Structure 1
Amino acid sequence: MSTILIIEQVLNGLQFGVMLFLMAAGLTLIFGVMGLINLAHGSLYMIGAFAAAAVAGLTGSFLLALFAAMAAAAMAGVLIETVVIRRLYATDHLDQVLATFALILIFSEGTRWVFGSFPLFLDIPDAVSGPVSLPGGIQYPLYRLVLIAVGLAVGLGLALLINRTRNGVQIRAGENDREMIAALGVDISRLYTLVFALGAALAGLAGALVGAIQSVQVGMGEPVLILAFVVIVIGGIGSIKGAFVGALLVGLTDTLGGIFLPELFKLFTDAATATSAGSALASMAIYILMGAVLIWRPTGLYGARA
């Protein structure tokens, strides 16, 4: 196995990880502040991807498509929070799961009704298309490097928002004691709507960015949602830093596992069996990682200690 292949797969894992972070950051904020299990978060990812594809097709501008994706997902998030979610804060998690699962079905069928059942395609902008030469003679897609940079920039901006702004102070206080900040005069309903809209916009941005390297289709958000839940469990619920570290761990484990595990099995068996067994184990690797982290630290890497 060549060094160039290993470096390329590490970069692929980083790109996958930062995109998972955009999903997981919003999800962990919503759960940390509101205590809400939102299964419809993947639908917001899908809405962002479809909105980006539609706007890019009409205007030819990828930048406008990104803004449209974030705006559409944020508006859908505000609608969900004010119409449905606001009635679920006092209920148990089973009611939240059932209600948000119903939202998945509503958004999936609604998207299919508006856009049809066939996948849409979002073209990579010409300015960032094609490969770029990296040290060592590595040719790597420029767009994937841009995705890594965008993800890191959003992560930095989110950290500054949470740690250096008044709204960030309220969000962090809301994670610890919602009743107290409400008693101090903070409009808790407005805070919840703000957090939900922010998380939805991040999911929409992720959907738009990933939509340029894969087809945009109904149901595309659910597999990513599962991985996002794994990320926040590993990183610790409510922790942005944990979501970032967990996303990178999941991205690298999933990507590198698919390369190295079949090669490892080839040392002990024939090529066909090694490929099958290695691929099966690679698909379980992130869940094995999650189990190992929970055995070591039951609240996640950066979760609050009981």
Structure 2
Amino acid sequence: MSIALLIEQLLNGLQLGVMLFLMAAGLTLIFGVMGLINLAHGSLYMVGAFACAAVAAATGSFWIGLVASLVAAAAAGAIVEVAVIRKLYERDHLDQVLATFALILIFSEGTRWLFGSFPLYLDIPPLLQGAVPLPGGGRYQLYRLAIIGVGIVVAIGLYLLISRTRLGMRIRAGESDREMIAALGVDIRTLYTVVFALGAALAGLAGALVGALQSVQVGMGEPVLILAFVVIVIGGIGSIKGALLGAILVGVVDTMGRFLLPKALALAMPAAQAGLIGGALASMLIYLVMAVILAVRPSGLFAAQS
């Protein structure tokens, strides 16, 4: 196993972690501020991917498609919050789960009706095509490095938004005591809509960025949603810092587990059998990590911090 291959897999894990952070940051904001379990968050990821693919195909510009993904996902999130989610804040979590699960079905069938059952494809923009050299003689895709860079910029932007702006102050106050900030004259309904739209836009951005690496298809958000929930449980519900560190941990552990476990098992058994068993164990690895972390810190790594 070469150094270049190991670095490549570490970067793949970091890129997966950054994508999960974009999903988990919005999800943890929504849960932290509103106390809402939103299973439809993965559908907003799908909306962003389809909007980017459709607009990029119509205009010939990936960048216009990327802007469209943010606008479409934020608009869809705001509409959903006003039309459906707003009625669920005082309901128990079971009602929230059932309602947002219904939204998954609505988004999936609506997307299938608009775009059909066949997948769409996004081309990597010419500016980000190619690869950069790695230590040891390997090369790494420039577009994946760009995704990592976008994630870092978004993380810094969210930190500044939450810690340095009036909106961030209201978001933090909403996490602590929503009744008090409502009594002080803050329009809590507008705040909730803004937070939900922001979380939706981040999910849409993640979908658009990943859409250039894989096919854009109905249901693409559900597997990512499961990993995003793992991230916020590990990092601590309501914590942006926890979402970032949890996402990187999950991304690196998942990627390196799938890379290293089959190779390790191949030392003691046939390669085909090692691949099957190693792949199965690797898919369990992040959940084992989550269980260990929750055994030590039941509230997650950075609970109640932003």
TM-score w.r.t. the length of structure 1 is 0.98
Match of 1:293, SS?
helix
RMSD value, Cα:
0.9
How far did residue 3 of structure 1 move? 1.1
Provide the C-alpha distance between the structure 1 equivalents of 2:50 and 2:266, rounded to a whole number of angstroms: 42
SS of equivalent residue, structure 2 residue 258:
helix
1:137 Cα deviation from its structure 2 partner: 2.4
Match of 1:198 in 2: 198
Q: Using the aligned pairs only, state the percent identity.
A: 72
Mapped contact 2:3–2:136 kept (Cα < 8 A): no
* Aligned residue-pair number: 305
Cα distance in 2 between the residues matched to 1:264 and 1:302: 33
What corresponds to 1:96 in structure 2?
Answer: 96
Quote the residue 1:122 is aligned against.
122
Q: Distance in 2 between matches of 1:176 and 1:123?
A: 43
Aligned counterpart, 2:221: 221
Give the distance between the partners of 1:210 and 1:191, measured in 2 at CA: 29
Alignment partners' CA distance in 2, 1:103 and 1:162? 28
The one-letter code sitting in structure 1 at the alignment partner of 2:13 is G
Q: Which amino acid aligns with 1:197?
A: A
Give the CA deviation at 1:134: 3.1
Instruction: Report matched runs for 1:1-306 at 5 Å.
Output: 1-304=1-304
**Structure 1 residue 252 displacement after superposition:** 0.2
**Could you tell me whether the CA contact under 8 Å between 2:45 and 2:221 is conserved in 1?**
yes
Q: By how many angstroms is 1:267 displaced?
A: 2.6
125-134 or 221-230: which moved more?
125-134
Cα distance in 2, alignment partners of residues 111 and 61 from structure 1: 22
1:21-55 CA-partner distances (Å, limit 9, x unpaired) = 00000000000000000000000000000000000
Q: SS where residue 120 of structure 2 aligns?
A: coil
Amino acid at match of 1:279: G
- In the alignment, structure 2 segments of 5+ residues that lack a partner are none
- Partner SS, residue 42 of structure 2: helix
Deviation at 1:133, TM superposition (A): 1.8
Distance 1:163 1:63 in 2: 29
Instruction: Say which SS state the counterpart of residue 57 (structure 1) adopts.
Output: helix
Aligned-partner Cα distance in 2 for 1:173–1:292: 31
| TM-fit CA distance, 1:265 | 1.2
Could you say what secondary structure the match of 1:234 adopts? helix
Structure 1 residue 132: Cα displacement? 1.6
AA in 2 matched with 1:168: G
SS in 1 for 2:269: coil
Distance in 1, matches of 2:271 and 2:137, equals 30
Contact 2:2 2:136 in 1 (8 A): no
2:275 and 2:15 mapped to 1: Cα distance?
A: 24
CA distance in structure 1 between the partners assigned to 2:187 and 2:134 by the alignment: 50
Unmatched tracts of structure 1, length 5 or more:
none
Please say which of residues 123-132 and 48-57 is displaced more in the overlay: 123-132
Aligned counterparts of 2:216 and 2:272: Cα–Cα separation in 1: 32
* CA offsets 1:206-230 (integer angstroms, 9 cap, x no match): 0000000000000000000000000
User: Shift of residue 270 of structure 1?
Assistant: 2.2
Mean CA deviation greater in 132-141 or 214-223: 132-141
Distance in 1 between residues matched to 2:86 and 2:155, nearest whole Å: 27
Normalising by structure 2, report the TM-score: 0.98
Which amino acid in the other structure matches residue 248 of structure 1? I
Q: In the alignment, residue 8 of structure 2 is paired with which amino acid? A: E
